[in-house]
Amino acid sequence: MNKYEVLYVIDPNVEDEPRKELIERFAGIVTTNGGMVDKTDEWGKRRLAYPIDFKNEGYYVLTHISAAPEFPRELERNFQINDLVMRYLVTRIEE
């Protein structure tokens, strides 16, 4: 299994409860595909470097996961089809 760092930005207008459900949903996708969530850090609302869809802020979430090499493609597919995720980045961590 490889280690990955997943950073995604959620729409800042989402309420607390739906945002927590969304974060749990992505963690659930990792575990159902045979991976492990090592750590999740919610950075909170931060100013974006440039406006995205006329929004200047986003809610940042950083997650460290361990998963098979094929898994990042599935996770990225789920990020793309979710309208609440503004941007995402999945990076493999070299050991």
Please, what are the domains in the chain?
Answer: 2-93 (3.30.70.60)
Q: Using alpha carbons only, give the angle 57, 41, 67 rounded to the nearest 5 degrees.
A: 115
pLDDT at position 95 is 77
DSSP annotation of 14 reads: S
pLDDT, tens digit only, all 95 positions of the chain: 899 999 999 999 999 999 999 999 999 999 999 999 999 999 999 999 999 999 999 999 999 999 999 999 999 999 999 999 999 999 999 87
Could you tell me if 33 and 71 are in contact, meaning their C-beta atoms sit under 8 angstroms apart? yes
Asked if 62 and 41 count as a contact pair (C-beta separation under 8 A), the reply is yes
